[in-house]
Amino acid sequence: MAIFLEDRGNKLCSKEGINHPFYGDLFGTVIYLVLLLFWGLQYQVLPNPTVEFVKEAQIIWQIPPDPKAVLFIAHGCGGSALNFWDSCLGCPNCVGLPEEKRIVLDALAQNFAVLVITSTDVCWSYRKDGSRVKKTIRWWLEKHDLVKSPLVGLGASSGGYFLSVLATEVRFRGIVLVIASGLFDQMNSIPDNYPPTLFLHMPKDVRRGRKIDRHVEMLRKKGIEVQKIECMEFPLTPIWLADRVADLNHTTSLKLFELFSSKGFIDVKGYMKNDGRATPWREALKQSNIVLTYESKLIHHIEEELNLAYAYHEMTSLQSDQMFKWFKSHL
């Protein structure tokens, strides 16, 4: 299986796919090492992903010392493997969305190897991606001598629907479907050895919730272990965004909170009145005197946290402890 690695501009690329965007820049290297130390102290693990291209398909992975299990992740629509790690030496094009990267760091801290594969199109298609992903997982496990390691899966939104079908053909010890009901009602039959399934659901999405409840009953009737965790809305605080979004300080977080309050985007208790995607906060920001460092990057990071606070449809790491406790109980 051919592996193609990027070699662009002044990025130093090793044959393992490690890119160094700060080559020749001592200051940049020092800053990067300080960031590594920060993450290492917080999570007892250093983010150090490897980017590879398998038959033109992007995969990003990281293996901690002495891995106990392997976590495969399928992103949501419009996402990619680049969302799960901060920009770093191994992945200068990574964007590190707040919730995605926390899931990876939590996984690595608990000795889970992580493999993230990017879909062919904007959203997942089992017809286009199923065979490719199965072969890639098998190849990657063999390459890194992890075939005998327990394999678990996490899929968000479109990735959750994809994973629910993939689990009929790939042997997972357990899967987590985030903001996704799965495609169980479209299967001819659910295999008897289907893996234990955990749904992370946001109850505001009533229609999806009803389908999840039906699928929970379907799985239970088959004797398959199933559990559901509800992810509830919560109020913003003046420092919430600074605590969740890297490169956003407390002063700017407070200004954003005050802006959202003055524009009526949040109520008196701090709850979002609408989903971040449907809230004209970007326009309000442009009309304000608030200056964001790395603005184009931070916009997407901030919006993810606003969506999460509203709790209708967004990736979440807030239930990470429960999720990994559940994974570990099935290894």
Walk across the sheet containing 151-156 and list its strands: 3-4, 50-54, 57-62, 112-117, 69-74, 151-156, 174-178, 197-201, 226-230
The predicted pLDDT at position 37 comes to: 55
- Domains present along the chain, CATH in parentheses: 3-232+315-328 (3.40.50.1820), 240-310 (no CATH)
- Residue 55 falls in which region: left (phi positive, over 0), alpha (psi -120 to 50) or beta: left
> E strand or H helix at 156, and its extent?
strand 151-156
Residue type, 149: S
The predicted pLDDT at position 30 comes to: 58
pLDDT of the chain, 331 residues: tens digit per residue? 332 222 222 222 332 333 333 334 565 555 555 555 555 545 567 889 999 999 888 999 999 999 999 999 999 999 999 999 999 999 999 999 999 999 999 999 999 999 999 999 999 999 999 999 999 999 999 999 999 999 999 999 999 999 999 999 999 999 999 999 999 999 999 999 999 999 999 999 999 999 999 999 999 999 999 999 999 999 999 999 999 999 999 999 999 999 999 999 999 999 999 999 999 999 999 999 999 987 888 999 999 999 999 999 999 999 999 999 999 999 9
Predicted confidence (pLDDT) per residue in 75-91, tens digit: 999 999 999 999 999 99
- Of the chain, the end-to-end C-alpha distance in Å amounts to 29
Residue 2, number of CB atoms within 10 A of its CB: 7
φ/ψ (deg, to 5) at 208: -65, -35
Q: Are 59 and 117 in contact (CB under 8 A)?
A: yes
The predicted pLDDT at position 47 comes to: 86
φ/ψ (deg, to 5) at 102: -70, -35
Q: What does 250-265 look like in DSSP terms, one character per residue?
A: HHHHHHHHHHHHHTTS
Residue 54: closest CA among 123, 114, 127, 139: 139
Residue 195, number of CB atoms within 10 A of its CB: 21
The predicted pLDDT at position 237 comes to: 98
φ/ψ (deg, to 5) at 27: -60, -45
